Amino acid sequence: MGAGAGMERSRIVIAGGGLAGLSLSLALKRALGDDVDVVMCDPALSRDPHGDRRSFAIAASARRMFEALGLWDKVADKAQPILDMVITDSSLQDPVRPTFLTFEGAVEGEVFAHMVTSGDLTALLLDACRDIGVNLRPEGVKGFSVRGARTDVMLAGGETISAALLVAADGARSRLREQAGIGWIFWPYNQSGIVATISHERDHEGRAVEHFLPAGPFAILPLKDEVLPDGAVRHRSSIVWSERSGNVPALLESHPEDLQAELEKRFGLQLGKIAFETKPQAYPLAFGVARSFVGERLALLGDAAHLIHPIAGQGLNLGLHDAAALAEIITDAMRLGMDPGSPDVLLQYERARRADITAMGIMTDGLNRLFSNDLLPVRLIRDFGLGLVDRMPGLKRFFIREAAGLRREDAPRLLRGEAL
């Protein structure tokens, strides 16, 4: 790749084509067009995105961003709105699961979240990036070295690209964060999240269910019906089944009938007969946050900057919030003729994200500790709390606005649905 002095000033390399990195690439290219050269590097770009079996709840604020990026109509075709939500709290053996809290899925006339599969969303973002001229490189970044006003980014294939800024969107185990010497506060939860798509006989009617069980939350999240080639409709939901990590290998290797019985114990039979549509995949759960979100000509994005428990379905939404904030800060700086990798610009990003990420980390960690617990006094207190919230419409509205990402007046423009 040619690396003329003028060109590298406006080149941004993004290492990591997960949903956070792809969203940032698209946002930058849409805002700055030919004034920026966005290079996206990830060996996974050449793999089928549908290999990831997770599905995500995309909050209303992230939906607004996809609308502003011109992608929402296509995502909406594949997405299922969450129309209401039910929360229960019981132990596995309890014959009935009393409902402690219910939420309507709309906040101020807007659906608070939509469910979409990781595969569908990644494929749509990749196509949009390709169409708009993001330079997609299916190889990893091996390292980087800062030389004054540029950073030299070494690719796995041996090539070096000079850029004004390197964005590390390379996931929670970020090698680039480590190479930059940025500290990582980390603790494992001794829990894994088992994810799979489940087909069921009856329509879910857009209802999401979260059962708080002693081993961790078990979430049933509605997916869009699938229309089969013969015209028949398959009803589907995604599950996130938190389990103590020590139990997971034996569970996943157990006889299919035993696994099915364990699933039914948790899922229940309210939607009729159920079956695994995809092979269950387990993700170890942990908390992590970087001591700094920036380094010299380096910005951390998404899980490379923070890792949270999926109890509130907010990890990716935080990463999309990072992408919206960083795209805005870089765009505004470049329009003023500033260097996008300069310390002033990077400091703005650090300041814009620190409070939100810290608050979400504390909230999800606290919720997990409170709910993944079967001590009777703890259960009584939390059930009293849930019952109280259920009877207070103002408080409920507060929580739902928080989950929808609509509470912050100072949110980046993209999250308010405005173009950059």
Ligand X SMILES: Cc1cc2nc3c(=O)[nH]c(=O)nc-3n(C[C@H](O)[C@H](O)[C@H](O)COP(=O)(O)OP(=O)(O)OC[C@H]3O[C@@H](n4cnc5c(N)ncnc54)[C@H](O)[C@@H]3O)c2cc1C
Residues that bind ligand X (CB under 6 A): 15-21, 41-44, 54, 56-57, 140-141, 169-171, 175, 193, 195, 240, 283, 302-303, 310, 313-317, 319
Q: Between residues 171 and 341, which has the closer beta carbon with respect to ligand X?
A: 171
Smallest gap from Cβ 178 to ligand X, in A, equals 10
Q: Between residues 157 and 343, which has the closer beta carbon with respect to ligand X?
A: 157
Q: Between residues 57 and 352, which has the closer beta carbon with respect to ligand X?
A: 57
3-state secondary structure of 372: coil
Nearest residue to 134 via CA among 238, 36, 244: 36
3-state secondary structure of 67: helix
Smallest gap from Cβ 324 to ligand X, in A, equals 13
- Please list, residue by residue across 4-40, b when 16 or more beta carbons sit within 10 angstroms of its beta carbon and e when fewer do: eeeebbbbbbbbbbbbbbbbbbbbbbbbbeeebbbbb
Contact 197, 80 (CB under 8 A): no
Smallest gap from Cβ 336 to ligand X, in A, equals 28
Q: Between residues 195 and 248, which has the closer beta carbon with respect to ligand X?
A: 195
Q: Between residues 302 and 361, which has the closer beta carbon with respect to ligand X?
A: 302
HSE-up of 290 (CA within 13 Å, CB side)? 30
Residue reference for tokens 């009393």: 98
Q: Between residues 139 and 383, which has the closer beta carbon with respect to ligand X?
A: 139
CB-based contacts of 322, cutoff 8 Å, min separation 6: 20, 24, 293, 301, 302, 305, 353
Smallest gap from Cβ 300 to ligand X, in A, equals 9
Smallest gap from Cβ 241 to ligand X, in A, equals 9
Smallest gap from Cβ 95 to ligand X, in A, equals 28
Distance CA(147)–CA(154), nearest Å, equals 13
φ, ψ for residue 394, nearest 5 deg: -65, -45
